[in-house]
Structure formats: C-alpha cells, structure tokens
Chains A and B, each alone.
Chain A
C-alpha cells in the first residue's frame, strides 16, 4: 500500500510538471518570434560560434566567420554574393577541378570555367583569367523560362534546381545569357574502361540530398548549374571553389552584412558584373573586369 501511495504521489508530481511545461510551451509559442539572431529551424538547426581571427590572418578565417554570422540569421535576411578579384586570379583552374570533384560532375558538365584571354601581341602580351559561373541573378531569366518551376530563386538569393521536378527541356540553358547551365547527358569519363570507376559513381550531395549516378535517375537528363555549394555553406563550410582558390581571388559571403568581407570589397573597390546591361542583376562581382576584353 505504501508503495502504491508513493507511485500515486510521483504520478501527481509528474502530472503537475507536465502541465506546467505544456502551459509554458503554449505561452512561449504565442509570443512573437525574434526577427534577428534567430535561426530558421527548417533551414539550419545549428548555431555557429564565431571564429577569433586577427588582422593578417588568412582571409578564409574571416570569410568563415562571416559565413557563421550569416547562418545565424534567418534565410531571408541573408543575401549570398561572390566577389572575384581578377588581379589575383592566377589561372590555375583549381576552382574548376574542386567544383567538379565536389559535385561529381560528369563529362560535359562544368559549373565554373575560367576564361583564358590573351590581349596584345608579342612582346606586349597580357593574359587575363576570368572565372565564370552561375551569377545567381536577382532577375534570373532561367527561372522565368522554366516551364515546371524546377528552378527557383531562394530567399537567400541562390538560384537552385529541383532535380526531380526538371523535365529536361533545356529551356533554361538557352535562357541563361551567361552559358552557366549544362545538361547532364549521362556520360562517364571512364565509360570505355571495363566498368565506370568508383569515383564517378559516388553520389553528389547537391541541394543537401544524395544523388547517386544511376540510369534514368536525376541528375542524369537534367539541367545542372552552380548552386554556391548550398550543401557546404549550410553546414558552415565555404564553397569548394572559394576554399580551394590558390590566389585567394574568390570571396564569398553575405552581402547584406556590412561587416562581411564581400560587402567591404564591393564597397571599397570598383566592381563590375557580367552583362549588366541585360538587367539580370547578377550576384557575382568582379574586381578588375574593366581591364578585360570579353
């Protein structure tokens, strides 16, 4: 009997605890959500701690800190942008290779290529390197052209692809004025060997999902493009091309954050964007583009 009484007492205690917790939960959910400093649960459940860096440290550390600060905001409050300093690009193509490796892109799919342009004649010769990629335009013609809403503009400015929605009509390829999109025709680099090599069969993790290369399955048959490495940045990593850039010529961050390196570079330098006259409002900014003949 005594034992039963104890159990009853505990149950009443638990009941009271549960009741007060429920009341607290209901009360807090009725409160208005904080606008700043909150994290959209569906977007990023993590809170990122800032990195201590000092003047003279590697710029990657600063960009990493910028990235964390941006990720701690709501998605609609950040606006991803890239800055490419053409004075620093050495034309090593490491970004192209890093991108291909990161996204397991097959033959005929390259999200980031580097234009190699020669100017003048010997001995007064100049070579310019201009990396080109998806510009994640503010007014993207590809989004307008897509007949099935397979490509959309996210709140943070990234133009993304919904692979399973894409019908492979390639309207977006022709709509893009930057040639930034390619169609995945299901090719393999090692198709002529006895079997495709494992490195080609490993899944890509684009758009935070696993995409194994299988016959008839997306992304084969789809349009593909640069996505600013969404799967990396939302896990607190810089895009593969930025992390790999040998000349430290590529910068990435939140343009809405006045403290970020990209904001600082855009404000302090004379930046240009590609084909600005088309009104697409690209989000990739170039330093030194005026010296290049495109």
Chain B
C-alpha cells in the first residue's frame, strides 16, 4: 500500500540501495560499450573477423544500451521525474554525465547503423571508440569517486574497462554463433576466440586483483567466478560451434555474476562497528538477496534485449541481414 516505485517490491534497502537491477544495468551498458568499442577497433585496424559482424554487433550494442537504460529507469524511486536528469543536471555528478553521454552514444550508434552500408570513415570510428570508452570510464567513476565504499579504487575503474571488453567479445561470439548461417562460421568464430582469450584472461586477473585488494580472495563467489572464467576459456577453445557459443554464454554470465558480486559485497560493509544492529527495522539491514519479483523483472529485461534486437534487425528498414 501507498507504494509507488517498483522498488517497493524489491529487496534492496537503505543499506544495500543498489541491487540486482543495477547489476543488470551495469552488465548491459558494459556489454554495449564493450561491443561497440571492439567494432570500432576492429574496423580501425582492419581486423579480418570483426568487420563481418559490424551490423549485428552494432544492433546488439544499441539493444543492450536501451535495455540497460530501461533497467535503471525502473530502479528509480520517482520514475516520473527522470526528465530532471536532462533539465537540471549537476556538473559534479558522474551519473548526470552518464545520462548525457548515453544520449550522444546512442546517436553515434544509430549513425553507425545508417552509415554502415557506405562504409565508416576513420574519424567516425575514432569518435565511436572514444565515446564507448568514455561511457565505460564515466560509469566506473560513479562508483570510484565517492570515498565511503570499497569501490573507491583505481582497480575498480580498471575492472570496468576489462569486464566491458570481456563482455563485448563474448557477446559478439555469442551472436555470431547463434545467428550466423554461412559455412565458414567456424573460421570466423575461431578468429574471434583468438581475440577473446587474452581479454578474458586479463579480466580474470583484474578480478583476482580486486578480490585481493578487498580481502575477498577466499570467498565462495570468487572461486565460482574463477571456475566460470576457466570453463568459458576451455569451451571457447573447442572446435564445435555450439560449444563455442555456450562458452561465450558462460563468459557473459560469469561477468554478470562478477558485477553483481562487486556491487553487492561492497555495500554489505557497515560504515561503523555495530551500525547495522544500532537500529533494527525492515529495509535497514546489511543483507541482500533479490526478491522473486526482482529476478522475474531481470529475466524480462534480458528478454527485452532479444525483442529490441529482433525489432531493429528484422523490422527496421535501416538494417539488413549480416553477410556472414
């Protein structure tokens, strides 16, 4: 009763104010920026594999960005005041910067889709790479700037960059494996896997560094993350299209878990000894597990990526089938 936002049905609280939906948002936006950064890089250096997926990858990047913005929108306490981010942004806030960056970035993504048929000029590629990197960096600053949490470190910023690149390549492999139809697909996938392995290993190394810096190295979640990363690498190195696609999917899920883990674990640290027990009431406790409602909404958000992707890929006239 007397509840307005969807947050009223979620389990996040004042001690853990950002829960599963924010993790999903970070996952989507990280993937979007990572995919686009790799597309821009692939075209800039004339990589033999990535430019073949220019259109599919750019559509996926736009789809994940839109789903990411949807997931952060539903997380707001006053959804109807979203426009205030545009009307009265604070210049000191990383979140305000992000909103404006997303706007420019979305325009660049749409521009890329429109320009793809005629080829992308170098200047455009450079601009695209710059803005996708800016999206990742500014997003990491939202966490790294405030001094109160464990996020206040350079490793956290670095982790955002490496995880976005990991997400980007895993998503590109996944989309190529799941949607491609041509006979030479295995060659394409193998070429992409060659790019992915160092990115996944670098990301794993940064994850371990972060866990060491937070003194979380022995935690079960971190062990699971290491196992998932290694499993993804093993599967990606196989010769079967289905197995490689599964490996990419595990890589994507692993990074979602990693984002969830670093987001939640830092919020569970009490600012002072005895703070959590000083006043006991619902929505004040230093604990969090997502509610069934949060999980269902998150699944719906994942489905929304597919729906947006299908709409942009099949229905909108500005896109055409990828020549795989």
Evaluate contact between A115 and B274: CB separation under 8 angstroms.
Answer: yes
Residues in chain A near residue B283, CB distance under 8 A: 107-108, 182-183, 185, 187
Evaluate contact between A108 and B272: CB separation under 8 angstroms.
Answer: no
Contact of B279 among A113, A185, A191 (CB under 8 A): A113
Question: Which residue of the partner chain A has the closest CB to B278?
Answer: A113
Contact of A168 among B5, B148, B270, B274 (CB under 8 A): B5
Evaluate contact between B281 and A293: CB separation under 8 angstroms.
Answer: no
Evaluate contact between B85 and A117: CB separation under 8 angstroms.
Answer: no
- In the bound assembly, the distance between CA atoms of A96 and B85 in angstroms comes to 34
Query: Residues 158-185 of chain A: 1 if any B CB is under 8 Å from the residue's CB, otherwise 0?
Result: 0000000111111101111111011111
Asked if B76 is an interface residue, CB under 8 A from chain A, the answer is yes
Residues of A202-222 whose CB lies within 8 A of B: 213-216, 218, 220-222
Evaluate contact between B96 and A148: CB separation under 8 angstroms.
Answer: yes
CB distance from A131 to the nearest CB of B (A): 9
Classify chain A: how many residues form its interface, as a range: 35 or more
Residues of B84-112 whose CB lies within 8 A of A: 84-85, 88-90, 92-96, 99
- In the bound assembly, the distance between CA atoms of A173 and B85 in angstroms comes to 18
Asked if B126 is an interface residue, CB under 8 A from chain A, the answer is no
Evaluate contact between A141 and B271: CB separation under 8 angstroms.
Answer: no
- In the bound assembly, the distance between CA atoms of A78 and B94 in angstroms comes to 31
Evaluate contact between A130 and B272: CB separation under 8 angstroms.
Answer: yes
Residues in chain A near residue B45, CB distance under 8 A: none
Asked if A155 is an interface residue, CB under 8 A from chain B, the answer is no
Evaluate contact between B281 and A110: CB separation under 8 angstroms.
Answer: yes
Residues in chain B near residue A22, CB distance under 8 A: none
Interface-lining segment among B11-19, B58-66, B221-229 = B11-19
Contact of A186 among B2, B84, B277 (CB under 8 A): B2
- In the bound assembly, the distance between CA atoms of A146 and B90 in angstroms comes to 7
Residues in chain A near residue B284, CB distance under 8 A: 108, 110, 182
Contact of B85 among A145, A167, A223 (CB under 8 A): A167
- In the bound assembly, the distance between CA atoms of A173 and B135 in angstroms comes to 23
CB distance from A188 to the nearest CB of B (A): 7
Evaluate contact between B17 and A115: CB separation under 8 angstroms.
Answer: no
Contact of B282 among A108, A169, A183, A222 (CB under 8 A): A108
Evaluate contact between A174 and B147: CB separation under 8 angstroms.
Answer: no
Evaluate contact between B1 and A188: CB separation under 8 angstroms.
Answer: yes
Contact status of A221 and B78, CB under 8 A, knowing A115-B273, A178-B271, A188-B2: yes
Evaluate contact between A176 and B77: CB separation under 8 angstroms.
Answer: no
Evaluate contact between A174 and B278: CB separation under 8 angstroms.
Answer: no
Evaluate contact between A222 and B148: CB separation under 8 angstroms.
Answer: no
- Interface residues of chain A: helix, strand, loop or mixed (majority): loop
Contact status of A280 and B147, CB under 8 A, knowing A108-B282, A113-B275, A171-B95: yes
Question: Which residue of the partner chain A has the closest CB to B90?
Answer: A149
Asked if B149 is an interface residue, CB under 8 A from chain A, the answer is yes
CB distance from A290 to the nearest CB of B (A): 15
- In the bound assembly, the distance between CA atoms of A278 and B2 in angstroms comes to 38
Asked if B7 is an interface residue, CB under 8 A from chain A, the answer is yes
Contact of B272 among A148, A170, A222, A294 (CB under 8 A): A294
CB distance from A266 to the nearest CB of B (A): 22
Residues in chain B near residue A167, CB distance under 8 A: 76-78, 81-82, 84-85
Asked if A19 is an interface residue, CB under 8 A from chain B, the answer is no
- In the bound assembly, the distance between CA atoms of A188 and B284 in angstroms comes to 14
Evaluate contact between B146 and A183: CB separation under 8 angstroms.
Answer: no
Query: Residues 1-28 of chain B: 1 if any A CB is under 8 Å from the residue's CB, otherwise 0?
Result: 1111101100001110110000000000
Residues in chain B near residue A169, CB distance under 8 A: 75-77, 95
Asked if B267 is an interface residue, CB under 8 A from chain A, the answer is yes
Contact status of A222 and B92, CB under 8 A, knowing A116-B274, A175-B146: no
What 20 additional pairs, Cβ within 8 angstroms, besides A166-B81, A176-B146, A185-B3? A114-B279, A141-B145, A144-B92, A147-B85, A148-B85, A167-B82, A168-B5, A169-B75, A169-B76, A170-B17, A171-B93, A177-B146, A178-B271, A179-B15, A179-B275, A183-B77, A196-B2, A215-B4, A221-B4, A221-B7
